[in-house]
Amino acid sequence: MNLRLRWKKLLSSKVPSHKSWFRFTTTGSPTPNHFLPDPEKGFRPGRKVSWMPVEVENRQRKYTLDIGTLEFLANEVQKALDKQSDLYTVTIVNDRRIRLVNRMFRGKNMATDVLSFGYDSTPSAEALFPAGEILISVERADRQARDQKISLEAEIVNLIIHGMCHISGYDHEKNPIEAERMKKMERKISGMLLVSLRKTNGNQTEDRANFRIHGKIPD
């Protein structure tokens, strides 16, 4: 069983999805909760269709999250990184589950705020596998959000940006130059997200302090 199938199996749970729709994928996709169309009966009626290439899955019960906004912003991050043709999944879990994955695949028996997995396989019409998957601990995100005095959703977006930058080739652990390069990209994307929110909400975005990402965002 390959890595993506193994850790997805670890995260399987009975937590209901917060989505009102499912992406249609082909048989063989490792991502849970995807709706697979019946080749004879066609698509199941009564489902709203979305082709957004980034899907956010909530696999924890402790916090109520605005999954729709997180998913919209995650797709904006993907656009900013010029990765629109790639499929990604973002899974929000608790400390216990992220610690389990961290121990199995990185040999570190500890919880962390975000893990990212990039894959070399190229999505095709026959097998829509994700190019990358991001795992976020909601409990770690909550603590960090409180420290920064921002909303929980804003900190989760920070971590999505961080994870997608890693998958896209940025590496802050390589050397100081690469760390600064990644930091600049994260700040650039943060500013672009505020513009996207203004366009979506008719210039009536949520409080700037709430959506402050990576510190001060220039006007």
Q: How many CA atoms lie within 13 A of 216 on its CB side?
A: 2
For residues 168 and 83, the answer to whether their CB atoms sit within 8 Å is yes
* Cα end-to-end distance, the chain, whole Å: 48
Determine if residue 172 is labeled as part of a ligand binding site: yes
Nearest C-alpha neighbor of 75 from the set 103, 52, 57, 95: 52
Determine if residue 166 is labeled as part of a ligand binding site: yes
DSSP state letter for 35: B
In angstroms, the CA 84 to CA 129 distance is: 14
- Cα separations (Å) of 148 from 52, 69, 129, 213, 215? 30, 20, 35, 9, 8
Locate 153 and state its tokens: 């959703």
Residue 212's φ and ψ, nearest 5 degrees, are -65, 125
134 CB-near residues (< 8 Å, 6+ apart)? 88, 89, 90, 91, 114, 115, 116, 117, 159, 160, 163, 164, 167
Determine if residue 18 is labeled as part of a ligand binding site: no
Binding-site positions read 162, 166, 172
Residues that constitute the known binding site for Zn(2+): 162, 166, 172
